[in-house]
């Protein structure tokens, strides 16, 4: 007899794994995460770029404002990003989910 994993347990374990990966792996991400900015620097037109309107936001530049340790700053930004996307995705799926079985329609006249 094999033990079955409930859907809630599966989702909880998946969320924990995703948060762990976001918190740990985000520190080891590329030092050139913005491909367009990197190419602009390499080709010499980066000086014409303007700052984003969100450049002063708490999670700008793949870090967290107010967290001095680079590793912790990246980890917090990664975890917050995952949490926000999970929340938005969950809300969207919840809003669009099937609302039970729809009553069957009959084409009989």
Residue pLDDT, tens place only, 57-83: 898 887 889 999 988 988 898 899 888
Output the pTM of the full model.
0.65
Query: What is the rounded average pLDDT of the residues 85-94?
Result: 91
Question: Residue 75 falls within a domain, yes or no?
Answer: yes
Element spanning 73, H or E: helix 70-96
| Cα-Cα-Cα-Cα dihedral sign, residues 10, 12, 15, 20 | negative
Question: Residue 65 falls within a domain, yes or no?
Answer: yes
Question: Residue 72 falls within a domain, yes or no?
Answer: yes
Question: Residue 4 falls within a domain, yes or no?
Answer: no
The structure tokens listed for 18 are 């995703």
Provide the 3-class DSSP secondary structure of residue 6.
Answer: coil
The count of other CB atoms within 10 Å of the CB of residue 80 is 15
Give percent of the chain with pLDDT exceeding 90.
16
| pLDDT above 70: residue 23 | yes
- Give which of 79, 80, 62 is closest to 70, Cα–Cα: 62
Number of domains in the chain: 1
Question: Residue 77 falls within a domain, yes or no?
Answer: yes
Query: What is the rounded average pLDDT of the residues 4-17?
Result: 90
Please report which confidence band the pLDDT of residue 89 belongs to, taking 50, 70 and 90 as the band edges.
very high
Question: Residue 87 falls within a domain, yes or no?
Answer: yes
The structure tokens listed for 54 are 């969100």
Look at 76 and 34; give whichever has higher pLDDT.
Answer: 76
Residue span of the structural domain in which 66 resides: 10-29+56-95
| pLDDT above 70: residue 1 | no
What's the mean pLDDT when you consider all of the chain? 83
| pLDDT above 60: residue 109 | no
Question: Residue 2 falls within a domain, yes or no?
Answer: no
Question: Residue 19 falls within a domain, yes or no?
Answer: yes
């Amino acid at each position: 007899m094999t033990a079955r994993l409930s859907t809630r347990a599966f989702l909880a374990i998946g969320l924990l794994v995703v948060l762990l990966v976001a918190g740990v792996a985000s520190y080891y991400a590329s030092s050139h995460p913005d491909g367009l900015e990197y190419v602009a620097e390499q080709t010499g037109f980066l000086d014409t770029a303007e700052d984003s309107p969100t450049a002063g936001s708490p999670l700008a530049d793949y870090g967290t404002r107010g967290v001095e340790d680079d590793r912790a700053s990246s980890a917090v930004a990664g975890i917050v990003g995952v949490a926000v996307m999970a929340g938005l995705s969950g809300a969207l799926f919840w809003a669009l989910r099937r609302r039970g079985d729809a009553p069957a329609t009959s084409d009989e006249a």
